[in-house]
């Protein structure tokens, strides 16, 4: 083989080599998200806040940490329903001009731009939403994406990582505040129900659980040769 051809092959192998981040979640790029809303119905109730936190993976230790957070206050879309009980619970006044709110399109495109940039840098191909009660947050993001006629979201349309389930397994708690405290993480109830605060706390919780699993020997997998996974059983099996 000529030296130039060998260098070309080596270059191709480098490009095709998956980053540790991409290998960890089979090409998915986890992004922690929280939304604050004016109700429970993603089709009719207003999206009032959205925040997203990206993560970093230390390739030497294999541990995850928080990277960057983006946050928007959002104006209710035209005709949106505003449930009084939901507004009282979150303490959000959608009419307050000091919120500096933007429309849904601006909030989503700004969030998606950051996610795509970080996802590409990590060598991943699709984002997966991490959230506490993830189906709720994903439902509101998907509905707003459709309303804004955004053709392609970086998020998988239905796959998600739910920290409610993960913390129930790892910590015996499903409420965000109680799960954080069980993990030894600070949690200030007076700051809760803000998308910015809840997102970063959920991100800390997710990193704690994933990192704890890694420290317990759950990653990397004991069997890392894919051929072994598909090997035919021996006569002694």
Chain length of the chain? 237
Per-residue pLDDT, 15: 44
Cβ burial of 32 (10 Å; 0-12, 13-18, 19+) is buried
**From CA 181, how far away is CA 171, in angstroms rounded?**
10
Residue 10 has what pLDDT?
A: 45
pTM of the model: 0.87
**Residue linked to tokens 């260098």:** 7
The reported pLDDT for the residue numbered 12 is: 40
According to DSSP, residue 220 is labeled S
Choose among 154, 177, 157, 173: nearest CA to 165.
173
Residues classed as catalytic: 193
The continuous run of DSSP H or E covering 30 comes out as strand 28-37
pLDDT at 193 (0 to 100):
86
How many Cβ atoms sit within 10 Å of the Cβ of residue 114? 17
DSSP-derived secondary structure for 175-195: SHHHHHHHTT----GGGTT-H
Interatomic CA distance for residues 139 and 155, integer angstroms = 11
pLDDT of residue 219: 86
pLDDT in tens, the chain (237 residues): 555 544 444 444 444 468 899 999 999 999 999 999 999 999 999 999 999 999 999 989 999 999 999 999 999 999 999 999 999 999 999 999 999 999 999 999 999 999 999 999 999 999 999 999 999 999 999 999 999 999 999 999 999 999 999 999 999 999 999 999 999 999 999 898 899 999 999 999 999 999 999 999 988 875 555 555 555 554 554
* CB burial readout 42-60, b (16+ within 10 A) else e: beebbbbbbbbbbbbbeee
């Amino acid at each position: 083989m000529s030296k130039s051809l060998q260098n070309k092959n080596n270059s191709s192998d480098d490009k095709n080599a998956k980053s540790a981040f991409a290998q960890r979640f089979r090409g998915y790029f986890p992004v922690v998200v929280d939304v604050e809303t004016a109700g429970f119905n993603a089709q009719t109730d207003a999206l009032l806040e959205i925040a997203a936190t990206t993560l970093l993976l230390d390739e030497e230790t294999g541990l995850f940490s928080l990277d960057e957070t983006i946050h928007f206050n959002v104006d209710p879309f035209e005709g949106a329903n505003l449930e009084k009980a939901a507004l009282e619970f979150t303490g959000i006044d959608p009419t307050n001009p000091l919120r500096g709110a933007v429309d849904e399109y601006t909030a989503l495109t700004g969030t998606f731009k950051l996610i795509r940039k970080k996802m590409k840098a990590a060598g991943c191909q699709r984002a997966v939403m991490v959230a506490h009660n993830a189906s709720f947050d994903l439902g509101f993001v998907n509905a707003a994406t459709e309303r804004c006629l955004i053709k392609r979201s970086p998020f998988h349309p239905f796959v998600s990582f739910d920290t409610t389930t993960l913390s129930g397994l790892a910590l015996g708690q499903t409420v965000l505040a109680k799960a954080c405290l069980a993990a030894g993480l600070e949690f200030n109830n007076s700051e809760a129900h803000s998308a910015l605060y809840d997102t970063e706390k959920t991100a800390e919780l997710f990193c704690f659980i994933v990192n704890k699993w890694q420290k317990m020997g759950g990653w990397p997998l004991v069997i890392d040769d894919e051929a072994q996974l598909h090997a035919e059983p021996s006569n002694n099996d």
